[in-house]
Structure 1
Amino acid sequence: MDQLKMGEGPLLFSRRGALATATLNLPKALNALNLEMIEQLSLKLDEWAEDDSVAVVWIDGSGDKALCAGGDVVALYRESAAYGETPDYAFTTGFFSREYRLDYKIHTYRKPIVVWGGGIVMGGGIGIMAGASHRIVTETTRLAMPEVTIGLFPDVGGSWFLNRMPGRLGLFLGLTGAQFNGADALFAGMADRMLPGDRRETVLVALSGLEFFADSERNHRQVSDCLKRLQLPPEEQPQSNLRAHYDQIQQLTDFATLPEVCRAITAYKGEDKWLQKAAATLAGGSPLTPWIVWEQLRRGRHLSLAEVFRMELALAVNLCASGHFREGVRALLIDKDRQPQWQPATLEEISTEAVDCCFEAPWAENPLSDL
């Protein structure tokens, strides 16, 4: 069956035979994920899961610039508390619980899900990509979890996938918000194949032309073999910064306490531009976020995927209520003065009690208790 357009708006759905596609369609906003998109995609995944004529799901972003640059930060900003304000948890609880529920659904989906992660893939975009069964990157892919700049934390399952990266790469990326490319994603276990960025249509045609079966595991193998045949040869892939700097990152993070790790990273005085930027981002970021990253990775190390999302939901809602998130977004995206006035202002002033409070559930029952 030829491609069939199923509607206009922030999400486009279509069919190519047994291949069902979903396209995030806010290219001017780099396909940033809003609540409407989260709900529509979740409902469509439920529908396709029960549709025997759908064998494979494909998710991509409109245009060539991004799969998804993150969540709808401005909407969250409007509903978050400033320092000293009484928080209202309703909107943030609704937003994050729906987003994490979608991410969990992708992680546990029975049918193959292929995500085309070309261009920018950050924050909520990583949430969509991380749990897919077949994660494609290209030469243009730029990933990051840059929440340290806005007083949030690497969520959407970051406690799960950062803990599963080689060595302490996850800790380093969570603390610094450093960007990493498609080759880095392959090295860190965040992607499965690198394909040429200008071959998206070729890949869609190849996948839609496969012979699919009622056996979902067999279809997983079909998709894997197809993508392997189309992958970019290693010699044509960009260099991996994470691979090249692996030993140095291990040295910078090889300390028993968070302050020691942060001092080592921010004290970097070498000539490497990538490490310089990582150090500067950590130095200028929220002093609370590094403590959350350190603790979420410690607490999340042995949690199940469902437990991770429940923990992160409490964290996200509490940080939006703390004043840190609102101040970070104000400085970066609203007033754009890039001069956040963090309270407290330094890593050393953050108390253990303040960190522990961020992990305490603000409701009687976690909205994700049924996962």
Structure 2
Amino acid sequence: MTDELVRFDRLTTQDGGCIAVATLNSPRTLNSLSLEMARQLDTQLQQWAEDPSVHLVWLDGDGDKAFCAGGDVVALVRALKDEQQGAGQPGDFAREYFSMEYRLDYRLHTFPKPVVVWADGIVMGGGLGLMAGSRHRVVTETSRIAMPEITIGLYPDIGASWFLNRLPSGIGAYLGLTGANLNARDVLDLGLADRFVPRANRQALLERLTQSDIVPGTVDDAEAAVVAALAEFEDRSRAPAGQVDEWRDHLQSLAQQATVSAAVTAILADDTDNSWLAANRARLEAGCPLSAHLAWQMLARHRHTSLADAFREELVVSVQCCVLGDFAEGVRALLIDKDKSPRWRHAEVASVSEADLAAMFGVPWGTQAGPLDDL
């Protein structure tokens, strides 16, 4: 079927087992992750985890432009508008959507078999959540990775509160505040990707994997087969020149501040003549002040927590971004009306009050069990 939101295939391996393939199938939306796509993928992964004939999972996106450009934020805003007009409780759809997305991401992080993600083209927001959770993160010369949530009134979620803390000091904060665009070399240098394979070698790599002889149910055997195939096709000499490594000391000097206000002031005051740094400054300057606080606070709060704890609190904050924050306005300005003139609730980072920030951490379901308490 050509209208499937996610295509599922099985490629037979030499030993009679298979490689399970999941392809996000919405190229028109750059494979943005909808609620139903997340549900289908999560359900299939559960089945593949228990199927002894499945040696490993291959995850990619249809088309030549994007693996996944993020979550379906337009659907979130439209649902919120309907809820505000009486079709449900405001935030109901957001809770359902983010719960499903984060549960899927967590499943990938904890999946018992090798998962290879082909992160070709655009990988943003929710796409990075899928990529970050996979065991073998493969990038190509066209990979373009970012978490630009500050432009839509959100913050780096999908587990980023946890995994950005594992980058060199200050770098996670800089990326979260500026929504900086990264290329394949950058994410390799930062440990956000594992392998570089030229995009022209995708099919050859898959065919090489099908030639593997793996003892059914033996994860070490499957892992060895994946490592060997990736090593055969990796060619980092063809990766683009990086940006982050060249400027690492400079980025750390800007972001290693005591407060978010100080970090934002330092970044915006930087007059270094470099187009990448200038674009990052411009994105922060036009971005949502409340989002800057949330990005900073979530990194601080989850410096030493578990991944599951990070997902649980991200669910709270993401729902509140929809109900109390600037998310709907940010998406309206960037993706619906496309006037690129969001009317943020706060004029600048310094004007965000402690009360406004604290409200974003208020648990919407009160003392009831949370949707992700079982992680």
TM-score range, shorter chain: over 0.9
Q: Which residue of 1 aligns with 2:223?
A: 220
4+ residue segments displaced more than 4 Å:
84-87
Q: Which residue of 2 aligns with 1:277?
A: 279
Distance 1:154 1:351 in 2: 21
Distance 1:63 1:193 in 2: 21
Distance 2:117 2:246 in 1: 26
Deviation per CA, 1:35-54: give whole Å up to 9, x if none: 11101101110111111110
Matched to 1:368, the amino acid is L
Q: Which residue of 2 aligns with 1:229?
A: 232
Deviation at 1:169, TM superposition (A): 1.2
Matched to 2:4, the amino acid is G
Distance 2:221 2:314 in 1: 34
Distance 1:81 1:328 in 2: 14
User: CA RMSD of the aligned region, Å?
Assistant: 1.6
Asked if the contact 1:81/1:320 (under 8 Å) is kept, the reply is no
The reply on whether 1:369 has 2:373 as its aligned counterpart is yes
Distance 1:7 1:65 in 2: 18
In the TM superposition, what are the counterparts of 1:242-281 in structure 2 within 5 Å?
242-281=244-283
Asked if the contact 1:81/1:322 (under 8 Å) is kept, the reply is no
Distance 1:43 1:332 in 2: 32
TM-score relative to the length of structure 2: 0.94
Distance 2:165 2:265 in 1: 22
Distance change (3 Å), C-alpha of 1:85 and 1:341: farther
Distance 2:112 2:352 in 1: 43
Deviation at 1:218, TM superposition (A): 2.7
Distance change (3 Å), C-alpha of 1:294 and 1:356: same
Deviation at 1:85, TM superposition (A): 9.3
Distance 1:277 1:118 in 2: 23
Q: Which residue of 2 aligns with 1:76?
A: 76
Q: Which residue of 1 aligns with 2:96?
A: 94
Matched to 2:318, the amino acid is A
Distance 2:140 2:181 in 1: 15
Deviation at 1:198, TM superposition (A): 1.1
SS in 2 for 1:190: coil
In the TM superposition, what are the counterparts of 1:137-176 in structure 2 within 5 Å?
137-176=139-178
Unmatched segments (≥5 aa) in structure 1 = 1-5
Partner of residue 294 from structure 2, selected from 288, 292, 313: 292
Distance 1:32 1:124 in 2: 8
SS in 1 for 2:153: coil
Distance 1:304 1:257 in 2: 24
SS in 1 for 2:245: helix
Deviation at 1:81, TM superposition (A): 6.1
Deviation at 1:354, TM superposition (A): 1.6
Q: Which residue of 1 aligns with 2:15?
A: none
Distance 2:358 2:85 in 1: 20
Deviation at 1:222, TM superposition (A): 2.0
In the TM superposition, what are the counterparts of 1:46-125 in structure 2 within 5 Å?
46-80=46-80, 88-125=90-127
Matched to 1:78, the amino acid is R
Asked if the contact 1:81/1:323 (under 8 Å) is kept, the reply is no
The reply on whether 1:15 has 2:10 as its aligned counterpart is yes
In the TM superposition, what are the counterparts of 1:39-50 in structure 2 within 5 Å?
39-50=39-50
Distance 2:332 2:3 in 1: 32
Deviation per CA, 1:143-191: give whole Å up to 9, x if none: 0000000000111101111111122111111000010011111111111
- Between 293-302 and 343-352, the greater mean CA deviation after superposition: 343-352
- Between 217-226 and 295-304, the greater mean CA deviation after superposition: 217-226
Distance change (3 Å), C-alpha of 1:50 and 1:7: farther
SS in 1 for 2:54: coil
Distance 2:270 2:337 in 1: 30
Distance 1:8 1:152 in 2: 30
TM-score relative to the length of structure 1: 0.95
Asked if the contact 1:38/1:102 (under 8 Å) is kept, the reply is yes
Asked if the contact 2:169/2:256 (under 8 Å) is kept, the reply is no
Matched to 2:219, the amino acid is S
Deviation at 1:242, TM superposition (A): 0.8
Asked if the contact 2:201/2:233 (under 8 Å) is kept, the reply is no
SS in 2 for 1:60: strand
The reply on whether 1:31 has 2:31 as its aligned counterpart is yes
Unmatched segments (≥5 aa) in structure 2 = 13-17
Distance 2:74 2:2 in 1: 26
Asked if the contact 1:265/1:279 (under 8 Å) is kept, the reply is yes
Deviation at 1:358, TM superposition (A): 1.1
Deviation per CA, 1:241-283: give whole Å up to 9, x if none: 1111101101111221111110111122222000000000000
SS in 2 for 1:13: strand
Asked if the contact 1:210/1:222 (under 8 Å) is kept, the reply is yes
Partner of residue 306 from structure 1, selected from 308, 326, 339: 308
Residue-pair matches, total: 364
Matched to 1:367, the amino acid is P
Asked if the contact 2:21/2:59 (under 8 Å) is kept, the reply is yes
Distance 2:238 2:117 in 1: 21
Distance 1:143 1:331 in 2: 22
Identity %: 46
